[in-house]
Structure 1
Amino acid sequence: MGAEDRLELPVVGERQSLREQVAHALRAALITGEMRPGVVYSAPVLAAQFGVSATPVREAMLDLAKEGLVEAVRNKGFRVTELSDRDLDELTEIRQLIEVPTVTRLADPGRAEEFARLRPVAQEIVSAAERGDLLAYVDADLRFHVELLALSGNAHLVEVVRDLRNRARLYGLSQLYARGTLTDSGREHLALLDALEAGDAATVEHIMSEHIQHVRGIWADRPE
């Protein structure tokens, strides 16, 4: 891996296990597209950037391989899994089938207090978008959708969606920010909460469907 391929990775500390910290940092680099599909990354080279031994990096990479995010390349390292347009279309279809009806059923003014607890997370998404902090955007976006879906009471559904979102990384975020439209995408979360608190199921269904399709456009790095 040459100098031009060097990743901006943090030096990890001791609060979490090294394996967990490395996996989190690599997953973030995958989600934002800093680690590029098709490129082979060496565990010892990444370990040097993290300031740790190669062992926790290999262990973290194996965890990501189980999630389908990378694949092992014998005697070389790990390659970021490439997703085709068909893969992205199919993942989008699954998200539509699961998330749209699940979130629509949550629309109820009587649950306004639960939705209000998600508003600070939605605002985090907007704030991250405004300052171009892509890692914070992705982190807050994932927390928002997971916590919202958790209100359905179906833990298995939440884990399925979490896995889908991990596999279908958000491509094109930096280009979206450069075009000045990332903040608009972020504000969709606030509009969704408004509709949920109002008990407006039709609007919730519309926003969720449009939001998932918008995300598909981000993956493809092209506007809807």
Structure 2
Amino acid sequence: MKQGTGSAGTEEAVAADPAAQGRHRVPAQPAASGADRRRDTGRDRLAGPGDGGSARGEHTHGELALARPRHSVQRSSVRGQVLAALRTALVSGDLRPGEVYSAPVLAERFGVSATPVREAMQQLTQEGAVEVVPNRGFRVVERGAREIAELAEVRALIEVPVMLRLARTVPAERWAGLRPLAEATVRAASSGCRATYADADRAFHSAVLALAGNEQLVGIAEELHRRALWPLVGGAPGGGSRAELIADAHEHTALLDALIAGDLDVVRALVGEHFTGAE
């Protein structure tokens, strides 16, 4: 729940495929035509080893471990799976700040055409995670600790008052219904995987805020939560150690205990600590 910890509602799960030997793919799609391949390559191909390197010292990358979905999906959902995998790569630091990535090269790793990858990258551009580099691809935005702190402050301004209001109005049985989500964050934190914890953390926060009955509130809070996870300059993920993740997760269960008991003083203290302790 801390600003530097915690991929939207829940993103579609993906899993690594050891047998792929470095080539991770979404479910097989109809092969692109030769014209499509030439068009994709001509539009977004980045400079590679045989092209004289990248301009202005920028690093060009296409080799990153992007996970493979567990189940077959319809073609209409491919863009969503690619977007989920790219968001996971941002959280884990596989997509590194300042580096440029080619849609066609990433598409080859996914086993799809460049179109859904390009569409997913355009979504990340709108969210501020990447920026377009004409005729080269997409550069991951570089961000510093100050931006993380500012996001933490905005999240606190939005979420803390809502949680305190809900603490006075929501009955105990409604809070008890969120127990499985709180316990899921503890299990996710214990795994040590920041991307897994991010999903569980966001799901818990969204479920709490959903009790206010304001869909816009939930959407804005999820967007802020996602932005807080992008890696810092130098590629370091904006998050803590496994022990810090576990401590953060246990605050969820402690908060629920206080909410169920109707102890507003403890709720106020826990909510305040939860956000003021964020990075």
TM-score by length of 1: 0.86
Choose which of 23, 40, 64 in structure 2 pairs with 1:7: 64
Equivalent residues of 1:107, 1:201 under 8 A apart: yes
Matches within 5 A, 1:34-53: 34-53=94-113
Structure 2 match to 1:123: 183
Distance 1:58 1:4 in 2: 15
Displacement after TM superposition at 1:54 (Å): 0.8
Deviations 1:161-181 (A, max 9, x none): 11111222165477502xx33
Structure 1 alignment gaps of length 5 or more: 217-224
**What is the number of residues matched between the two proteins?**
214
Distance 1:154 1:164 in 2: 16
Equivalent residues of 2:79, 2:120 under 8 A apart: yes
Structure 2 match to 1:187: 250
Q: Secondary structure at the match of 1:57?
A: helix
Displacement after TM superposition at 1:112 (Å): 1.8
Moved more, 141-150 or 107-116: 107-116
Change over 3 Å in CA distance of 1:125–1:21 after alignment to 2: same
Structure 2 alignment gaps of length 5 or more: 1-47, 50-59, 232-236
Displacement after TM superposition at 1:134 (Å): 2.6
Displacement after TM superposition at 1:83 (Å): 2.1
Q: Secondary structure at the match of 1:7?
A: coil
Displacement after TM superposition at 1:85 (Å): 2.6
Deviations 1:42-73 (A, max 9, x none): 11111111111111000011011111111111
Structure 2 match to 1:154: 214
Displacement after TM superposition at 1:108 (Å): 4.4
Displacement after TM superposition at 1:131 (Å): 2.1
Displacement after TM superposition at 1:5 (Å): 6.9
Matches within 5 A, 1:206-221: 206-216=269-279
Moved more, 164-173 or 55-64: 164-173
Displacement after TM superposition at 1:109 (Å): 8.3
Moved more, 111-120 or 12-21: 12-21
Q: Secondary structure at the match of 1:181?
A: helix
Change over 3 Å in CA distance of 1:88–1:181 after alignment to 2: closer
Matches within 5 A, 1:51-200: 51-108=111-168, 111-169=171-229, 172=237, 176-177=241-242, 180-200=243-263
Displacement after TM superposition at 1:209 (Å): 2.1
Equivalent residues of 2:61, 2:102 under 8 A apart: no
Q: Secondary structure at the match of 2:68?
A: coil
Change over 3 Å in CA distance of 1:50–1:215 after alignment to 2: farther
Larger fraction in helix: 1
Change over 3 Å in CA distance of 1:176–1:199 after alignment to 2: same
Distance 2:240 2:250 in 1: 18
Distance 1:114 1:173 in 2: 32
Structure 1 match to 2:23: none
Distance 2:168 2:162 in 1: 13
For the pair 1:22 / 2:82, whether they are aligned, the reply is yes
Displacement after TM superposition at 1:194 (Å): 0.9
Change over 3 Å in CA distance of 1:202–1:153 after alignment to 2: same
Equivalent residues of 1:106, 1:196 under 8 A apart: no
Name the Cα RMSD after superposition: 2.4
